[in-house]
Amino acid sequence: MTPNDKDERRARSPSPQSDYPLDETGTARAPTIVISNPNDGQECPGTLTTTGDDGNSQCKEDGALNRPPPVQPSQSSEHEATVVLTIAICLVVFLMSLDRTILATAVPSITDDFHSLNDVGWYASGFLFASSCMLLPFGKIYTFYSPKWVYVISICIFEVGSLICGVAPSSAVFIVGRAIAGAGSAGISVGAFTLLACVLPLHKRPLYNGILGAVMGVAAVAGPLLGGVFTTLVSWRWCFFINLPIGGVAMLIVFWYLQPVQAVQTGLNVGQQLAQLDLLGELFLIPSTICLLLALQWGGAQYRWSDGRVVAVLVTFSAFLVAFVVVQMRYPDTATIPSRVVKSKSIIAALIFAACMSATMMVVLWCIPLWFQDIKNTTAMRSGINTIPILMSFSLGTAISGIFVGRIGYYTPVAMASSAITATGAGLIWKWNTSTSAREWSGHQILLGFGLGIGFQQSSMAAQTVLMPDDVPIGLALVNVIQQLGGALSVSMGQNLFKASLVHNLGAVLHGSINPQSIVKTGATEFRKFASQRDLPGVLLVYNSALQQAFLLGLITATISALGSCLLEWRSVKGDQGPRRQSAVGTV
């Protein structure tokens, strides 16, 4: 060994108090932080993926990131790998969020092809229901196995569901595909924030998490526009085919750039993993929710509320719900919904606010394109273009609320303003009729979109502020779940109200010339082919009145959201209270 080599070794050696293990030369070896980069083969700092003295990768706490690795890679290679990986994650999240609302403008064409206006509610609720049921289990699965592989598998599930939807020969197959895609979207939603936590140091995560949240919100609101473009220019099936190449490329990027990360919980056998998944609770929760959705689909529209079938599913729903609550109380250590979290007044308020705002957003976004196509006789693409005002105002509201809360430190007044503005916008939309002008429907959408936008992240802010650090992921996951369920239930209820009103009132204007059920079964826009010129004005009034029933539901849920916003504690995000670290679990 030359003198220069000894000097170089001494320059690299840590102080004697270093916690790093010594290698065979007596040199302390720091954990190596890894992002795979195929361009230069170097190992880049900035992730939570570390290689310890046993050669195994594992997720470390952020303190390890403050210790410099023995070999400093180039900043350009680190930045390139992080940016490419983040873009891939954002692409998948964009597709996942887009799928929640992209069918809003495509539904009339789908119902025309399948002759399935009765199934409209399931096209949205099937996706949202499957997603909400799988969110919390996926949160635990990510702790059992390498996040990289769980995320890749989640994308595969989402892609399979999209493929089934794209080639579906019938409405039933289409609904199955929507449910499969929804299950995969749950893994994507949880995994996106988990992977960001594994590839970014703590101080960079708020920026990237904000970008990811903005992508989710904009994609959800842009769904009707893009759905209309695909439906008019190509086919509604391309609303799903487009997911395959983009999702496939993103999956390959994640596979290539991200090294496997060791699971947080290691050494658990399959039985212990299944126990932590709370399968018993899920066994009662899933059928309970299905029964509730069935009741909301059938009651008052397909069957009378007093019909034995409706009563049976309501009783079954109640029984399964009680059983789920009993399981949560009996096994608190593995409970899907820990009691210590839901005992917080602010969390209950945040859940009420999140559920109601999501319900308003979903039912209105699904019905507005239908109103344009049915009442204004526009194409699917034009109905999507007509929703641009709500898209732009939503994006503006999201940005303004982020800046405002960051400045004043309080999210409660923003949530209150959101409830008031959203309810006002929903009320104005509820009054739409066949003579509503472009100036009116544009202004009303702007008002509604801005109200929804400023309230979009406030439930998440409440969960991150009032909960202890260890409970923040659970709180955020609950907000996510309740948002999904609120949207699923509102679409089902809105479809029920729309169909019941339509069937009940069509007979009076058709004068017995056409069976109202035949129009309902043909499709959302096919009624113009069956109604005579004499009957068409009356049919349009009936359709408008039926859509107003769904819009009224949006107004009611927006009004109820004020209860949640007013009950939120006035806690400052700048204060000493609340969690110190950023959660790896995100919301929609």
Per-residue pLDDT tens for 271-282? 777 777 778 888
Per-residue pLDDT tens for 49-69? 333 444 444 444 444 444 444
CB 258 within 8 A of CB 54: no
Looking at the domain assignment, is residue 335 inside a domain?
A: no
Choice among 71-75, 378-382, 579-583 with the minimum mean pLDDT: 579-583
224 and 118 in a common domain: yes
Looking at the domain assignment, is residue 509 inside a domain?
A: yes
390 and 296 in a common domain: no
The span from the CA of 185 to the CA of 445, in Å, is 28
How many CB atoms are closer than 10 A to CB 369?
A: 30
Per-residue pLDDT tens for 451-475? 999 998 888 888 878 887 767 777 7
Last residue of a domain, one of 266, 290, 311: 266
549 and 483 in a common domain: yes
Greater confidence (222 vs 73) lies with 222
Per-residue pLDDT tens for 95-141? 998 888 888 888 878 888 887 777 777 887 888 888 888 888 887 78
380 and 321 in a common domain: no
415 and 309 in a common domain: no
> What amino acid occupies position 253?
I
Q: Is 327 left (phi over 0), alpha (psi -120 to 50) or beta?
A: alpha
Specify the pLDDT at position 316: 93
275 strand-pairing partners: none
The span from the CA of 528 to the CA of 31, in Å, is 69
348 and 326 in a common domain: no
Confidence at 581, pLDDT banded by 50, 70, 90: very low
> What amino acid occupies position 69?
P
The mean of the pLDDT values for the chain is 78
Q: Say what percent of the chain tops pLDDT 70.
A: 76
To which H or E segment does residue 49 belong? strand 49-51
Specify the pLDDT at position 175: 93
Extended beta strands in 118-203, E state: none
Per-residue pLDDT tens for 323-382? 998 988 888 877 777 788 888 888 999 999 999 999 999 899 889 988 998 888 888 888
Q: Say what percent of the chain tops pLDDT 90.
A: 26
- Is 14 a residue whose pLDDT tops 60? no
For residues 558-583, average pLDDT: 73
Specify the pLDDT at position 83: 83
Q: Where are the alpha helices (DSSP H) in 102-119?
A: 107-114
CB 182 within 8 A of CB 127: yes
Looking at the domain assignment, is residue 31 inside a domain?
A: no
Q: Domain count of the chain?
A: 3
369 and 244 in a common domain: no
Residue ranges making up the domain that contains 304: 278-330
Last residue of a domain, one of 266, 298, 313: 266
Specify the pLDDT at position 298: 78
pTM over 0.85: no
Looking at the domain assignment, is residue 19 inside a domain?
A: no
* Residue 476, token pair as written in the block: 């955020």
CB 430 within 8 A of CB 548: yes
Specify the pLDDT at position 120: 76
SS3 22: strand
Angle at 22 between CA 20 and CA 28, to 5 degrees: 55
Looking at the domain assignment, is residue 12 inside a domain?
A: no
Output the DSSP codes for 247-298: HHHHHHHHHHH------SS-S--HHHHHHHTTHHHHHHHHHHHHHHHHHHHH
Greater confidence (557 vs 129) lies with 557
167 and 257 in a common domain: yes
Last residue of a domain, one of 266, 296, 316: 266
CA distances in angstroms from 576 to 147, 306, 409, listed in the order given: 32, 55, 12
317 and 284 in a common domain: yes
Instruction: List CB contacts of 560: < 8 A, sequence separation 6 or more.
Output: 352, 356
- Is 388 a residue whose pLDDT tops 50? yes
Looking at the domain assignment, is residue 374 inside a domain?
A: yes
169 and 91 in a common domain: yes
Per-residue pLDDT tens for 210-233? 677 778 878 887 888 898 889 889
368 and 245 in a common domain: no
Please report, for the domain that includes residue 92, its CATH number: 1.20.1250.20
Looking at the domain assignment, is residue 207 inside a domain?
A: yes
**Count of alpha carbons within 13 angstroms of residue 572, beta-carbon side:** 6
349 and 241 in a common domain: no
For residues 401-421, average pLDDT: 89
Going by C-alpha positions, the residue among 588, 582, 583, 573 that lies closest to residue 403 is: 573
Specify the pLDDT at position 576: 45
Angle at 358 between CA 206 and CA 495, to 5 degrees: 150
Instruction: List CB contacts of 346: < 8 A, sequence separation 6 or more.
Output: 462, 465, 466, 567, 568, 569, 571
Greater confidence (263 vs 190) lies with 190
Looking at the domain assignment, is residue 434 inside a domain?
A: yes
